[in-house]
Structure 1
Amino acid sequence: MRVLFFFFAFCSGELICDYGENCDRFCEAEICDYFWNVEYRYSNSWRTNDYQFGSSPFFRNLPLFWNETASRLEIPAMKKGYTQGVFIDDVKGEDGNTKRAEDNLDELFFIDGHADRRVITINGEFPGPKIHVKKGSTMRITIRNNLQVEGITIHWHGLHMVDNFWNDGAAFVSQCPINGGAKFTYIVRADNSGTHWWHAHSGIARFDGLYGPLIVLEPEEISSKVTSIPLTIGDWFQTDSISFIANDPFLLRMNTYPGNGPLTCATPYRSFFGGLKVTFFCLDSFVVNGRGQFRSQEDTSKGLFTIGERYLIPKNADFFKLRIINTGFEMLSAVTRLDGKKLNVTATDGRDLVPMEGDVLFLGVGETYDINVPILSDEDSLFLRFWLPVDHFGETADDFVHEPYLDIEFKRDANVAEGQFKTELFMRKPDDTVLQNEHDNSADLPIWVNCPYPEKNVICKSISDFKRLESSDYKYNTENSINTPANVSPLDEPDIILNIHTNFMTAGSSLNGIKLKYPTAPFFNGTDSEEITKCTKMQLRGEGGYCTQIMSAKIGDLVELRLSNLELSVSTRTYHSMHMHGYEFFLMATGFANYEEGRLTGNNEDISCGNRTGCPFVDYNEDVLNRQRKTRTSYIAKNSILVPPQGYAIVRFRASNPGIWPIHCHQGAHLYGGMSAFIEIKDDLLNRPFSYLPDDFPRCGNYRPTQMPKIDSEDLTGGAIISTSALIIIVAQFFVLLQ
């Protein structure tokens, strides 16, 4: 059993996260440097530099499998030309002694037990390194892309990036992708505190694991004695991004859901959530901080061999904090205590809430929540269950198969100091039974927090039921101080209303009926350039299509975003987790569909498609919206929000940060399919963000020569160049000879 120790040691300047280095140190310096190598690893492997055949990358990532008969991990037979059937005991350590996998669990790269899954890692880690900094610090993160075959970018999800548009990390928006073999250094300021995260924002590299936590502390939190544990949670698929793209039904125009395959599990297996189709993708595993357990295909009551992780907390702790981030690709996630006690939700997307107790907390893709977990003095440990909440998974709503889930233990330990935690690795063997996820509804009317729909026999606490913790409003007073609760009052008339309607009107997915066509180069020349496929007036008025959709507002405007989700087809009704870069917005109103007995029976009556073909836009009942706004006494801040199926969410922000900011669904397949657009915040006075675009910033884009190259009569060696007519004669003579 190997114990890994995490601590918050003050550092100044450089943080070199290399193999074997502790990358979880807290940096209190004004400037924190990070050096990240992006590379592939494959699941079920052992990274060792001491293997007897040499130190090439192949032999430093030895494949492993669990020998059920021998009850041990082994290296499979090597490729032809090497010794066959080499066992794990043949690996030598630096001291020359034999190394066994069971004694070196921290060197093994297991995720859910499914072998040979290609994963994108940072310095060999999945998830990538955790960033802990103080509010106001500047991070310099140097990325070296060792993938060779694909470009990458990194987005700093939740940070406001005030006057820092070009470091936001969206490919072909604020920067060119970092090509294979190249380096790029991000300069990122920690303007706003809380639980955030970083992730790939190019293609669908996030699908392959390119993400990690980003925690920004207020000054008073630095000396806190509360144990705080960041957890990345979410769905995990046995296929990688390349297979995903190759088998994507939308890409292949198979919108009838073609059935089981390497990616799809739609026929006969459909997932139901409140009577909705949730996804046609196979729900393979659930991972917490990169660890899960995949079910055996031969015996679904058992899991494959993998490595588990438990968390050790101080012996005298009354409670501990979890900073939970849904880093999944497609699905809602949920968490509950197995002992029936309540969770205490204290923050979302980095902003403090009036604490709310509940039995189950739901997180949309991209959302973050902080929860306090009390632990009684006579409790040595407790378990939390994390899972993908799917009511049913079969042809009909009466069918039921497993929901991928994972139970995590939090255990007291006398060797853990106050405010710290350790992790302890252990082997999850195949004979450890994987039970069906059964929900404990023994509590009288269990409380669902961030409830995605009103279920029967539960108390549904939706996002609108949260209240902002006004005593922490001072945290909004950063460089972006104009976008504060005081400046977005629901009683004020907005300067501009932007309607953003999510649906699948255009093949793939769309906003306002338009599937996004990305620019061929970043917005270095603004929104009026040849790199952009501008939408026509007809497309913007509801015709839909494939173009670069850009909405706009001016500095100082009070912007009201109306996010709606109305599908004409029953088969495509689902939720959407909407995220905006460069801003947080304040929730003004929400509307659910009509439900009976936990099943959707009709659209929300506050919105309608009118007579529009395909429903590219919706009309709102303005009287209802006005009543909601006038009666709202507290409005919380979010950067990602669940827009309920056949419903809506109304949010506001004060335009204060110039840029061309993406707004998109954070569910990977929806984003990849085109459910994205841009909101340009114009600064006519100072011309930001173009005024601070670095002169030496990397460029990319289309190339078309303006003139043909001149051909001299002689080549570089002085020999004559054969003319076109002479070449024709020679070829003709050659064919004559062949006859």
Structure 2
Amino acid sequence: MAAHLLLGALMLGSALAISYHKPAWIPLGDSLSPRLGQDVTNGNGVLGTLDAPRLAKFLPDTHASRHRRKGYSPTDIGIGDVPVTGVTRYYNFTITEQNIAPDGVVRSGMVVNGGYPGPTIEANWGDYFEISVVNALPNEGTSIHWHGLIQHETPYMDGVPGIVQCPIAPGGNFTYRFRADLYGTSFYHSHYSAQYTGGIYGAMIIHGPTENAQYDEDIGPVLLNDWYHLPPPQSNNNLINGKMNVSRQRCTPNAGISKFTFQSGKTYRLRLINAGAEGMQKFSIDGHTMTVIANDFVPLKPYQTDVVTLGIGQRSDIIVTATGKAGQSYWMRSDLGLNALSNPAGCTNNDGVSPLALAAIYYEGADTNSVPTTNSTVPESSIQSCMNDPLNMTVPYYSLTPSTTPAMSQNIDITFASNGTNYLFYMNNSTFRADYNDPILLEAKLGQTVFPAEENVISTGNASSVRFVLYNYAFTGAHPMHMHGHNYWVLAEGYGTWDGTVTNAGNPQRRDVQLLPPAQVNADLVVTSPSYIVLQFNADNPGVWPLHCHIAWHVSAGLYVSILENPTAIKSMHIPKPAAWTGKDVPDQIDSGL
């Protein structure tokens, strides 16, 4: 049984690699060294350079005071109100294909405006974003998802093909317009067939109240991601803000690392974002303690830690006090840990050569061309843990209490099995596949309530609150479960069968991605007990909302359900003309589509 599951994981990676025919990997051979005559740094991205700008606490406009109003709980629809600013922030994106080499190894990538990572977009809480996206890819569709935003009254701008829109066709364009209805740290990314793992992503910062934490300077986004020279499942490197050297074991010249500057005595906000494909990140700074002030878009009662765990799609805002002295330098670290395919205790599928990403922090007067010599004091047990911080540590700053008797409650079992050809993921015995030409939201607008089994639609009807108990029976590591359209409460986590106990029942943790731990296995790697998490949300945001694992290969292999919320309200919803796709000569769809 265990051997079959392990083989299945490898087959899954091999099968999904086909989806990477665009972007393609440049054949390696002896090409692990940078190629002369090409830009082999990082696609011209400014993040991670000493020229990277610090962020202001608010963008300038005539209504800045409205963003500073206190007393809001802006983390669920109907709780507090979003400021009306009358301001729109305009951006233009062009998606292209080009060779990039974040770590010195050249491969074909897909980038936004010619840079990797893509440009950082910013707004104040309550502003509108208006973003025009041109698909200049030669033969693939695309779409952009604005990760973590509620999209209240604009579910058709959520950016998921086959769910709320058709893909943007090659040579086509589409303009997204939506409200910055939450504040904090997030990112945007392609939601088309694991495409974002080739480079289509960037930070999204929304400025808002900061009464739960004070700091001197905002360093800005710190994007963390595993990186691939060859097709998955195993990553070959790990990056911080799109940069990292390849291990000396590969005999590759240094490609450069990200660099930051601190001044002794100051406090700094760092916005950590796991924008990777599969790898869980363990973030730390040698010799420094971190204070966590937000998870995803939810401000927290601050707490201190030596290591921050980030599953794919998760974000944590931290404050660091610069306790070093002039002339000193320190390593910033983000570790993928052990390889799960070779060690059952591992959390990620990396090749074991370069799982540790490093960046340098230089204090005033330090030589910024020097290499730090500091060591980590983070216990190995913390690096190897495949769970987020305990729920009782992560208490929202603004208190919200969920209903003890939700109107709807449902168990969802996650399994991993062969369909006779490939190993796929199933949620309640059904694996997902999108129809690019027939988005679910548009069918719901027409009054459809019954959908094909492969679209995995769960209707909440007119229920006012919904609870899902997710059970993981799959021997495939932890699953970062992301829900669109909501910040959900995380009521409980554990192993076996949930007994109804809620952690911090009066004010449970809220976020939009939570790690569902790995199932427990015996010495033969056979699952002996499932893991679980319990999620609950107020169903007051009509739309079709994805609930899925954010590991690219897992959602590509069907680990996904669509939450059809308040179908009656959707029928009366005004939906602008969607992006056009094609009714004939449909390109091959080689995975779930997402």
In the alignment, what sits opposite 2:410?
Answer: 498
- Quickly say closer, same or farther: Cα 1:395–1:197, change in 2 above 3 A: closer
In the alignment, what sits opposite 1:318?
Answer: 266
Q: How does 1:248-647 map to 2 (within 5 A)?
A: 263=232, 281-295=233-247, 299-300=249-250, 303-313=252-262, 315=263, 317-339=265-287, 341-376=288-323, 378=325, 380-390=328-338, 394=342, 401-413=352-364, 440=377, 448=382, 451-453=385-387, 462-470=389-397, 472-473=398-399, 485-486=400-401, 488-489=402-403, 492-506=404-418, 507-519=423-435, 520-523=437-440, 524-526=442-444, 534-535=452-453, 547-555=454-462, 557-567=464-474, 572-591=475-494, 604-606=495-497, 620=498, 624-625=499-500, 628-629=501-502, 632-646=505-519, 647=531
Identify the range of structure 1 (402-411 vs 164-173) with the bigger mean alpha-carbon deviation. 402-411
**How does the TM-score come out when normalised to structure 2?**
0.75
Q: How does 1:219-234 map to 2 (within 5 A)?
A: 219=209, 225-234=216-225
1:564 is matched by which residue type in structure 2? Y
> Matched residues in 1 for 2:60 and 2:564: separation?
38
SS at match of 1:525: helix
> Matched residues in 2 for 1:397 and 1:130: separation?
36
> Matched residues in 2 for 1:29 and 1:640: separation?
30
In the alignment, what sits opposite 2:555?
Answer: 671
Contact 1:134 1:219 (8 Å CA) reproduced:
no
In the alignment, what sits opposite 2:205?
Answer: 215
- Quickly say closer, same or farther: Cα 1:636–1:6, change in 2 above 3 A: same
**How does the TM-score come out when normalised to structure 1?**
0.61
Q: Deviations over 1:556-598 (max 9, x none)?
A: 511101111023xxxx34111110111110011110xxxxxxx
> Matched residues in 1 for 2:299 and 2:344: separation?
41
Report the RMSD for the aligned CA atoms in angstroms: 3.5
Q: Aligned match of 1:159 in 145, 149, 153? A: 149
1:40 is matched by which residue type in structure 2? E
Shift of 1:331: 1.4
- Pair 1:135 & 2:125 matched: yes
1:136 is matched by which residue type in structure 2? G
Shift of 1:332: 0.6
SS at match of 2:192: coil
> Matched residues in 1 for 2:306 and 2:49: separation?
33
1:6 is matched by which residue type in structure 2? P
Shift of 1:514: 1.1
> Matched residues in 2 for 1:231 and 1:659: separation?
32
> Matched residues in 2 for 1:450 and 1:156: separation?
30
Contact 1:361 1:449 (8 Å CA) reproduced:
no
Shift of 1:307: 2.5
Shift of 1:448: 3.9
- Quickly say closer, same or farther: Cα 1:2–1:395, change in 2 above 3 A: closer
Contact 1:451 1:462 (8 Å CA) reproduced:
no
Contact 1:152 1:201 (8 Å CA) reproduced:
yes
> Matched residues in 2 for 1:645 and 1:30: separation?
44
> Matched residues in 2 for 1:397 and 1:228: separation?
34
Shift of 1:150: 0.8
Shift of 1:12: 6.8
Shift of 1:700: 3.9
> Matched residues in 1 for 2:206 and 2:571: separation?
25
Whichever of the two has the greater Rg, that structure is 1
Contact 2:478 2:518 (8 Å CA) reproduced:
yes
In the alignment, what sits opposite 2:575?
Answer: 693
> Matched residues in 2 for 1:630 and 1:338: separation?
32
- Pair 1:41 & 2:98 matched: yes
Shift of 1:303: 4.3
> Matched residues in 1 for 2:53 and 2:504: separation?
46
> Matched residues in 2 for 1:294 and 1:640: separation?
30
> Matched residues in 1 for 2:324 and 2:368: separation?
25
> Matched residues in 1 for 2:210 and 2:504: separation?
34
- Pair 1:199 & 2:199 matched: no
> Matched residues in 1 for 2:282 and 2:505: separation?
27
Q: Deviations over 1:602-646 (max 9, x none)?
A: xx332xxxxxxxxxxxxx5xxx21xx1286343011101100112
2:226 is matched by which residue type in structure 1? D
SS at match of 1:169: coil
Q: Deviations over 1:6-51 (max 9, x none)?
A: 15575679xxxxxxxxxxxxxx9711110111112212xxxxxxxx
> Matched residues in 2 for 1:119 and 1:566: separation?
34
Q: Deviations over 1:459-509 (max 9, x none)?
A: xx7341323243x45xxxxxxxxxxx24x24xx211101222222135321
1:649 is matched by which residue type in structure 2? I
Contact 1:517 1:533 (8 Å CA) reproduced:
no
Shift of 1:202: 0.8
> Matched residues in 1 for 2:247 and 2:548: separation?
33
2:363 is matched by which residue type in structure 1? R
Contact 1:11 1:29 (8 Å CA) reproduced:
no
Contact 2:413 2:472 (8 Å CA) reproduced:
yes
- Specify every segment of 5 or more residues in structure 1 that has no aligned partner in the other structure, as ranges: 14-27, 44-109, 245-262, 264-280, 416-423, 454-460, 474-484, 536-546, 592-603, 607-619, 705-739
SS at match of 1:500: strand
Shift of 1:285: 0.4
- Quickly say closer, same or farther: Cα 1:136–1:499, change in 2 above 3 A: same
Contact 1:521 1:531 (8 Å CA) reproduced:
no
> Matched residues in 1 for 2:203 and 2:449: separation?
33
Contact 1:325 1:366 (8 Å CA) reproduced:
yes
1:577 is matched by which residue type in structure 2? P
> Aligned residues: percent identity?
23
Contact 1:449 1:462 (8 Å CA) reproduced:
no
- Specify every segment of 5 or more residues in structure 2 that has no aligned partner in the other structure, as ranges: 1-47, 63-84, 520-530, 586-594
Shift of 1:698: 3.2
> Matched residues in 1 for 2:279 and 2:431: separation?
21
Larger relative contact order (Cα-Cα within 8 Å, sequence gap ≥ 6): 2
> Matched residues in 2 for 1:181 and 1:701: separation?
13
> Matched residues in 2 for 1:450 and 1:466: separation?
19
Q: Deviations over 1:399-428 (max 9, x none)?
A: x9545212212223489xxxxxxxx996x9
- Quickly say closer, same or farther: Cα 1:41–1:688, change in 2 above 3 A: same
Contact 2:337 2:383 (8 Å CA) reproduced:
no
